[in-house]
Amino acid sequence: MATEIEKKFLIISDDWRLLGSGEDYCQGYLSTEKGRTIRVRTINDRGILTIKGPTVAGARLEYEYDIPINEAREILQELCRKPLIEKTRYKIPFRGFIWEVDEFKGENEGLIFAEIELESRGQSFAKPPWIGKEVTDDSRYYNANLVKNPFSNWQK
């Protein structure tokens, strides 16, 4: 059993762009039912199936499995809800942690936020100077909800 503990933050400057290169992700959802998310993702030539449980006190069960890339691409095109989530993910080390900055494309273009994964709920960490407001508990920023309500539809 794997437990995911992550926090999400908005970005307040572009300083992170100088710190790493990104990989293109495409992901779609077979289920976005509350507490039961099933996602298919491609990263370069890798296909991944992910199953996530409900979030309780900032943590949730998460299971990931590699699947053949051709099957992942077919599932994304034929079975997943649209729009697909397209983004570039940058992995940026900072004081013992890896921050993942997601820059979205397509219907979510203009949205950029960062995530950090922790080993325990109370684990302390330092924030890079380009990190802003925490949005962990704002469900609009869940990738599964960006399918239902893309950033391009948000009131600005």
Please identify every residue annotated as catalytic: 29
Cβ contacts of 84 within 8 Å, gap of 6 or more: 26, 27, 28, 76, 106, 147
Where b means 16+ CB within 10 Å and e means fewer, 60-73 reads bebeeeeeeeeebe
Cα 147 → chain centroid: 12
In the structure encoding, which two tokens stand for residue 79, read together? 């079975």
